[in-house]
Structure 1
Amino acid sequence: MKVSISLINLQHDNHQKFKINNLNNQSAFISLIITTYNRPDALALVLESVKQQTLLPKEVIIADDGSRDETRKTIEAVQENFPVPLRHCWQEDDGFRLAKIRNKAIAMAQGSYIIMIDGDIILSKSVVFQHEKQATPNTFIQGSRVLIGPMKTQQLLQSGKTAFSFFTRDLRCRENKIQSRLLFELTKNKYQGSIRGIKGCHMSYWKENVIAINGFNEAFEGWGREDTDFAIRMMNQGFSRKNLKFIAPTGHLYHPERSMHNHEKNNDLAMRAQSMKSTVCDKGIAAYLDTATQ
């Protein structure tokens, strides 16, 4: 009995130390938002990479565009031992409505600064730390990622491991795995004022700046270009772009190409925002700001 009590006390002490250590290494103002749709195995791996961060966010919000119960069960299982609050923002499945679920999750966020990644982006340990370090007023950050091929993706999902190296086989854009402060400094202001390389799968921005442009444009339905439109309006509003490359690598797990049936319409919407120098959209985050659950 004494041994059992000692083991319980040791487990309790270790749990308390775990909580204290994580509180000491937690950003007070960053909310990490992860978008997902019916890919719980990838989401579980992404959340594992979040747990390994040298700096944890204030909270993690899963922006779920209508996944089935398996995703909810995965989130609930992970919540039990997750080091920061893990919240689930879900909407009914009614087609590809990424802009809408992003707006809902940002409205829900308690942090003043948002890091947003897709649910198939695994993080190296310094990603949250580097986003916080590079966050500057009225600036949004475009991150980079390595493209992980189907064979390596399957290996990672089966093993539950998140680590891979520059020399790992079955990678594309492997140069994005390089970590170099000099290369970062040389490229951080490249494409200033340009939409080149804009990808919503790894970005960060101030919540107040998102509200100023009314968030993501919900006129975009179906895959593509809602992130480009978002960046265009950010820059038209006078906000700057910074690139986060060579200091915060991520890996994009493989998935088959998405349907692009709405791509032409979405591209026209984005180009209209650019030609008309739009700064706000009609249907965006404003609809959720008063009703967001805090």
Structure 2
Amino acid sequence: MRSELIISTYNNPKALRLCLVALRNQLQPTDTICIADDGSGPETAEVVQAEVSLRPEAGIRHVWHSDTGFRKAKILNDAIASSTAEFLIFLDGDCMVHPVFLKRHFELARPDRFSSGGFLRLPKEASESVTEDMVEEGTVFAQDWLQNAGALNRYSNKWKAGAGIRAKRALLEHITPVRRYWCGGNSSAFRDKIMAVNGFDTRITYGGGDKEFGERLSNSGVRGRHLRFTAPILHLYHDQPYKSPAEIKENRKHTLHSRKSKSCWTDFGIREREASAR
């Protein structure tokens, strides 16, 4: 089973560098890594090229399109369509993953399942203090550092950060009564199942695209499995100037429509030309 990690990014080269550093410590790496770049400037390309030079064995490729606004769904579709892997894992480029992250997604891989989980958000000050050495040495996942950083302000956050016995964390995420949504920053599925629902709906901008896509996967028979506590991720703080309440409201309509109609397909996905002729 060939696998690929798809990392979405946009004009945050520092965070992407930390993300890539964390991936050097994975217990079970993917065969290839794709940087799905929503129109970043040359600084991001430099980060990618530096990692390619440092780790040629990682099979890193860079999929880019020009910046014409928030088009994460489109660049993810381009990455999916151009991938030769059978199993795809998705990550946001402003996140740092625990060494067990990829291994856990492999453990749960099933053709009729998508796995998805959230992340632990770091406060702004703590995010700005993170260095490559801290990531390389694993300091950022140490409970005492996270406590001092103000990231463990809820009891459940300790479990999200990887505290406690693994078997207990696995049981907790299995029985936690939360809806199994697709979360693009921590998710995985088989590529043929993603292609069967035509990928992400490009009409959806920030806020809602993940959930709408997950609804169609579920409708197609690919059910969600939660990864709340066993694939720890730290999310670096950043501003969200592209966030629009009006667009989020509109996106929710698409999600609700897919849920109620039991739709498995979008005419605004990977195969748009084919879709227009249907």
Deviations 1:231-273 (A, max 9, x none): 1101111111111232221111111234332111111111111
Query: What corresponds to 2:267 in structure 1?
Result: 282
Question: Radius of gyration: which is bigger?
Answer: 1
SS of the aligned residue for 2:130 comes to helix
Does residue 256 in structure 1 map to residue 242 in structure 2? no
CA contact (8 A) 1:146 1:174 kept: no
User: Which stretches in structure 1 are left out of the alignment for 5+ residues?
Assistant: 1-27, 290-294
CA contact (8 A) 2:9 2:38 kept: yes
Deviation at 1:67, TM superposition (A): 0.3
Deviation at 1:146, TM superposition (A): 1.0
Does residue 170 in structure 1 map to residue 150 in structure 2? yes
SS of the aligned residue for 2:135 comes to coil
Deviations 1:95-116 (A, max 9, x none): 0011101111111222111100
Residue identity over aligned pairs, in percent, reads 27
Query: What corresponds to 1:54 in structure 2?
Result: 27
Greater CA deviation, 242-251 or 183-192?
183-192
Query: What corresponds to 1:120 in structure 2?
Result: 94
CA contact (8 A) 1:99 1:216 kept: yes
- TM-score of the pair, normalised by structure 1: 0.82
- TM-score of the pair, normalised by structure 2: 0.87
Does residue 199 in structure 1 map to residue 183 in structure 2? yes
Deviation at 1:59, TM superposition (A): 0.4
Does residue 230 in structure 1 map to residue 213 in structure 2? yes
Query: What corresponds to 1:208 in structure 2?
Result: 192
Deviation at 1:190, TM superposition (A): 4.7
Which residue of 63, 74, 92 maps to 1:100? 74
Mapped to 1, the partners of 2:258 and 2:176 lie a distance apart of 22
Mapped to 2, the partners of 1:58 and 1:287 lie a distance apart of 28
Mapped to 2, the partners of 1:286 and 1:201 lie a distance apart of 23
Alignment of 1:38-117 (within 5 A): 38-82=11-55, 83-117=57-91
Query: What corresponds to 1:183 in structure 2?
Result: 169
Q: Relative to structure 1, is the Cα distance of residues 195 and 131 closer, same or farther in structure 2, using a 3 angstrom cutoff?
A: closer
Deviations 1:148-197 (A, max 9, x none): 111111111475635322332221534311352123134236558x355x
Q: Relative to structure 1, is the Cα distance of residues 103 and 42 closer, same or farther in structure 2, using a 3 angstrom cutoff?
A: same
Greater CA deviation, 229-238 or 153-162?
153-162
User: Which stretches in structure 2 are left out of the alignment for 5+ residues?
Assistant: none
CA RMSD, aligned part only? 2.0
Deviation at 1:287, TM superposition (A): 4.6
How many residue pairs end up in the alignment? 259
